[in-house]
Amino acid sequence: MNLDNYTMPLLVGKSVPALVRIDREYPYGDSNDAFKEVAVSVTESGSDLLVGHVGVSTWGDRNNNDLAVKYAGVPETETLEYSSMDTYFPKFILFPKDKGAEVPYTGAKDNKDNLKSGLMSLMKRHANIYFGLPGCIQELDTIAGKFKGGPDAALTEAKAAVAKMDADGKAKAEYYLKAMEKGKAKGHEHFAAESKRLEGLMGGSIAGDKKKEMQKKLNILASFV
């Protein structure tokens, strides 16, 4: 849905969460393709989510420049020009339902697959939308959701589930068990702190394969947060 400074307050932060992109009026490229694929994935998941686009223009009435200032970090004193679009956009923000605190996306944007996976992980963590994300195992994701209420029982259940898996499954499950052990030792806040640390690393200059592995870990951590 296209949003502007009139419709956004009417629709965002209400009874369903919203993923909002702030970008040039007519976006293109990998980030646009990733955003469209995320919208399709949300539809296929059967979850309730508003997917919105705020188009910012640099001509005529300069539509939505006020929203670019409010949400995309454009200085209020700056007259936004087309040449500076790539400096600020695209910006992605998850608005939880019922006026929850907005959560900006701070993960990787270097290619379509990393951005798509990162946005889906963001929604999994903050909008409770389940996707079969890279690196994840649905059975262990379900157990991870119980961890906060009973770490010992969840860890025991996870170990029993992993014991029944084949070699490939056990390899994929290894990080779940490591995360649970650390969460048990450090407290449940470990998962959010580790997610934030990994997102920070992914925003830097690291090799593509390493970034993919970090994203898989971030996807798994999303099941605990």
Identify the CA nearest to 127 among candidates 150, 98, 91: 98
Round to whole Å and give the CA distance between 86 and 128: 31
**pLDDT score of 24:** 95
> Are 141 and 132 a contacting pair, CB within 8 Å?
no
Q: What is the mean pLDDT of residues 165-174?
A: 92
Q: What is the signed CA dihedral for 123, 125, 129, 133, rounded to 10 degrees?
A: 80
The tens digit of pLDDT for each residue in 96-122 reads: 999 889 999 998 888 898 899 889 889
If you average pLDDT over every residue of the chain, what do you get?
91
**pTM score, whole prediction:** 0.67
Asked whether the predicted pLDDT for residue 208 surpasses 90, the reply is no
**DSSP assignment of 101-160:** PPEE--S--SSHHHHHHHHHHHHHHHS------TT--HHHHHHHTTGGG-HHHHHHHHHH
Residue intervals in the chain for CATH 3.40.30.10: 2-126
How many of the other CB atoms lie within 10 Å of CB of 149?
9
The CATH fold assigned to 138-221 is Endoplasmic reticulum protein erp29 (1.20.1150)
* 2-126 CATH, one of 3.20.20.70, 3.40.50.300, 3.40.30.10, 3.40.50.720: 3.40.30.10
> Residue 103's beta-bridge partner residues?
94
> Residue 53's beta-bridge partner residues?
2, 21
**DSSP assignment of 59-115:** STT-TTHHHHHHHS---TT----GGGHHHH--EEEEE-TTTPPPEE--S--SSHHHH
Structure tokens at 108: 């990787």
**pLDDT score of 94:** 96
Residue intervals in the chain for CATH 1.20.1150.12: 138-221
pLDDT band, very low/low/confident/very high, at 133 (cuts 50, 70, 90): confident
**pLDDT score of 209:** 84
**pLDDT score of 146:** 92
> Are 40 and 116 a contacting pair, CB within 8 Å?
no
Backbone phi, then psi, for 154, in 5-degree steps?
-65, -40
14-23, 161-170, 183-192, 205-214: least confidently modelled range = 205-214
**pLDDT score of 166:** 92
Q: Please name the residues in contact with 111: beta carbons below 8 A apart, sequence gap of 6 or more.
A: 30, 208
How many of the other CB atoms lie within 10 Å of CB of 136?
21
Round to whole Å and give the CA distance between 102 and 20: 10
Round to whole Å and give the CA distance between 214 and 39: 23
**pLDDT score of 10:** 94
What one-character DSSP code corresponds to residue 3?
Answer: E
